[in-house]
Structure 1
Amino acid sequence: MATSRLERIGTIFSRMEALLKQGAIKVDDRPLWYDIYKAFPPIVEPKFARPPPENKTIRPILYKEDVVRAKFHAKGHGISTNLLVPSGETQTKRLLQKYEALKSEGVAEDEIIEKSVTAVSKERPEFEKEENVRVNKESATAQVLEGADIKNIFNDK
């Protein structure tokens, strides 16, 4: 069986179909992928004898915002996003807007990053600040953490 070349004959789907048709595998024991493959067959049959696809070069896609983001990260400014805040405006978006505003005002390129980071950190909305984040006291996690004694967690009781 180790020298078998059956993978070159047909596809996995055609062999599974034959096993189901002959009764070697029960219908209830068929793999999950079988029904999905049958409902959504590939455009090109994945056969062993098919020639490999052409290697097409991938065009580099860079937006002007990517360059600005790279400048922020190169200077060591982490751009974080609070996923608990339902507003659609992220800190990155505000940084980019402030960067463009300072650039249009004619601020020197070296100072733009520092000024935009300080401006965005000052204008953080109140609901994003850590002290105003509301914790649901009724949640199971909050109740478990309330009774946990982290300092003595490994001591015998």
Structure 2
Amino acid sequence: MASSRLERIGTIYTRVEGLLTRGAMKPDDRPLWFDVYKAFPPITEPKFARPKPEIKPIRPILYKEDAVRVKFHSNGHGLGAVNMMNPTSETHTKKLLQEYEILKNEGVPEHELIEKSAAIVQNERNIERQEVAKVKITSKNKEVSTPQTLAEADLKNIFKDN
């Protein structure tokens, strides 16, 4: 017996159901999926002898901005980290596309559109980074203790209630 042909006789569900009804398997030993399969059976039963489904070719789905995205990413623009915790933040590629459309409507030549829109978005990124750095610096400065504050501290009464 090199191989078993049991998969051709019935589905795994019918075989487990048969074991349960005949007492060969205890109801406590049934698989976790059995009750789910019984409650929500598939539309078409997964049999071995079922004919293969017709293979339909996948339609290419392309949008107008996909060509612009290709240009951006092939030049190395738009490859930045995305903050997934902030639902209002936009991806760098989306910002690039918005700037691209604005510049296109203004009449900027086609060969300059990508570089100019990438430069604008890069400047915005730099400004955001500087703002974040300023916030970090100011928050760190508040916690820094200077010799003057240490001299003024009353260590004997620090834990007493006021």
- Provide TM-score, normalisation by structure 2: 0.71
Query: How high is the sequence identity, in percent, across the aligned residues?
Result: 64
**Shift, 1:13, TM fit:** 0.9
Decide whether the 8 Å contact of 1:82 with 1:128 is kept in 2.
no
**Shift, 1:128, TM fit:** 9.3
Partner residue, 1:12: 12
**Shift, 1:55, TM fit:** 1.0
Alignment length (residue pairs): 133
Unaligned 5+ runs, structure 2? 137-162
**Shift, 1:129, TM fit:** 5.9
Letter in structure 2 aligned against 1:93:
K
- Provide TM-score, normalisation by structure 1: 0.73
Task: Decide which structure has the larger Cα Rg and report it.
Answer: 2
Mapped to 2, the partners of 1:84 and 1:121 lie a distance apart of: 22
CA shift digits 1:9-37 (9 cap, x unpaired): 11111111111222222222222222222
Deviates more, 1:17-26 or 1:111-120: 17-26
Partner residue, 1:42: 42
Partner residue, 1:62: 62
Letter in structure 2 aligned against 1:82:
N
Mapped to 2, the partners of 1:128 and 1:85 lie a distance apart of: 19
Please tell me the root mean square deviation across aligned C-alpha atoms, in Å. Answer: 2.3
Letter in structure 1 aligned against 2:71:
K
Partner residue, 2:103: 102
Unaligned 5+ runs, structure 1? 134-157
